[in-house]
Structure 1
Amino acid sequence: MTLTAWLSLLAICCLGAMSPGPSLAVVLKQTVGNSRRHGLAASWFHAAGVGLWAFATISGLAILVEQSEIAFKIITWLGAGYLAWIGVKAIRAGRSGNLEVESTEKGTILSAGFEGAMISVLNPKLAIFFIALFSQFISPDAGIVDQLIMTATAALVDGIWYSIVALLLSHGPVLKALQRRSQLVNRLTGGILIALAARVVTL
C-alpha cells in the first residue's frame, strides 16, 4: 500500500470514527457515570470490535453477511436489542442517581469494555461500511501486510478517537458539570440509545 493510499484510508477512518452515534453515547455514559478508566476500556474494546469487522471484511466474511438477509437481520435485531437494554439501564440509573463517579455500585472495567465491544460487534452496518471502504484499496496483489495495515488503521483510529473523548471528559470543569447533571446525561443517553434501537427495527 502506498503512502498516498494509506493517508486516504486514514482520513476516511477518522471521519467514520468521529461520526456521532451509539458508540459515543456509550463512551460518554461510562466516563461520566463511572470513571476515566471505564471510558477508556469501552473505547478500546469497541476498537477491538471494529478491528474484527475490518478483518472479517478483508477476509471476505462480511460479504456473506451483506448477501445473507437472514444473517444480517439476526445481527441487526441483536444489536437493536442490546442498544435498547443499555438505554433502559442508563435511564433507570439516571432516575436513581447512582451513577456518580464515587458510587460503590458502579460497574467493573470489564463490564464497561464488554459494553463497548458489543456496540461494535453487534453492528452489521460496519460490514457494509468496510466493504465500501476497503473495496477502494484492496487489489488482487494485496498481501497479508496490506491487509493487516488496513485492519490496524481502522481499529487504532477508533480506539484513539474515543480515548481522546474519554480523556477530555474526565478532566476539569467539563466532567464536574456533567457529573452535576448525571441524571440528565444518563436519561438523554438512554433516550438516544433507545431511539437508535427503534430506528434500526423500523427501517
Structure 2
Amino acid sequence: MYGIENYWGFVAAAILLNLTPGSDTVYILTRSIAEGRKVGIASALGISAGILVHCVLVSLGLAQIVAHSPTLFAILKYSGAAYLVYLGIKMWRSPPLDAGATEKGVQTGLWPVFRQGLLTNLLNPKVVLFFLALLPQFVSAGVASPLPFLLLGLTFLLTGTLWCLLLACAAAPFGGLLRRQPVFGKMMNRISGLVFVGLGMKIGLSR
C-alpha cells in the first residue's frame, strides 16, 4: 500500500513506542501537573507540531543533512538543552500558581506554551534520528516517493498526539490536588523547574 510494508505492524510499534516514557512524556506530565489541563494540552499540541515538522523533513530527505552533519547535530542538541534549562530556571523563579486561576487557564497564555512545546521538540535532534531509523524499516526497498514516509509519520503523529492529550488530561487533576496544599503549591514551580533543568542536562550530555 503506497510503498508501505506491514502497516499494521507499524501502528502496533508506534503505539508501543508512544507508551514508552521519554523526554516529551516527562515534559507534558510536568507542565500538566504544575500548570493545569489547558497548559498540558497546549504543550502536547506544541510537541505534536514539532513531530509534524520532523515527519515532513524526513519525508523530503532533509533530515539526512542533520544526521550526517555532526556540527549541525551538536548545534541543535545544545540549543535544545539550553532552552530546557532556560525554561527550568524561568519556572523556578516564577511565583506560586493559584489553583483556581490555573484551572481556568488565565494565568498562562496558551500560545507561548504551545510555542515552548514546539521548540523543545524541534531542537531535539534525537527525534530526527529516531524517524530516520524507524520509518525506512516499513517502506518497500527502492521506493523514492516521500508519500510512504509521510503517511507513516502522520500515523505516528496521530497515535502520539492522542496519547499525549490523554496524559495531559489525566495528570492535571492530580496537580490540582497538589496545588491546593500550601506546602506543595509553593514547591510546585521549583520541582518543575528542576525537572526541566534535568531534561536539558540529559539532552546536552547525551551522545
Question: Are the counterparts in 2 of residues 54 and 130 from structure 1 also a CA contact under 8 Å?
Answer: yes
Alpha-carbon deviation of 1:67? 0.4
Question: Are the counterparts in 1 of residues 30 and 192 from structure 2 also a CA contact under 8 Å?
Answer: yes
Partner of 1:71: 72
Q: RMSD of the TM alignment (CA)?
A: 2.5
Question: 1:129-177 deviations in whole A, cap 9, x for unaligned?
Answer: 1111012012223645423321211211221111001111234xx2432
Partner of 1:190: 193
Counting aligned pairs with the same residue, the percent is: 24
Partner of 2:169: 167
What is the CA–CA distance in structure 1 between the aligned matches of 2:65 and 2:203, rounded to whole Å?
Answer: 20
What is the CA–CA distance in structure 2 between the aligned matches of 1:6 and 1:101, rounded to whole Å?
Answer: 45
- Seen in structure 2, the aligned counterparts of structure 1 residues 154 and 45 have a Cα distance that, compared at 3 Å, is same
Equivalenced residues, count: 199
What is the CA–CA distance in structure 2 between the aligned matches of 1:6 and 1:177, rounded to whole Å?
Answer: 42
Q: Which amino acid aligns with 1:63?
A: Q
> Structure 2: which 5+ runs fail to align?
none
- Seen in structure 2, the aligned counterparts of structure 1 residues 110 and 188 have a Cα distance that, compared at 3 Å, is same
Q: How does 1:1-203 map to 2 (within 5 A)?
A: 1=1, 5-93=6-94, 96-98=95-97, 100-102=99-101, 106-139=107-140, 140-141=142-143, 143=145, 145-171=147-173, 174-179=174-179, 180=181, 181-203=184-206
Q: Which amino acid aligns with 1:192?
A: V
Q: Which amino acid aligns with 1:33?
A: A
Alpha-carbon deviation of 1:82? 0.7
Question: 1:62-84 deviations in whole A, cap 9, x for unaligned?
Answer: 11101001110110111001110
Q: Which amino acid aligns with 1:9?
A: F
TM-score by length of 1: 0.85
For residue 44 of structure 1, give the secondary structure of its aligned residue in structure 2: helix
What is the CA–CA distance in structure 1 between the aligned matches of 2:83 and 2:37, rounded to whole Å?
Answer: 23
Q: Which amino acid aligns with 2:25?
A: L
TM-score by length of 2: 0.83
Q: Which amino acid aligns with 1:149?
A: L
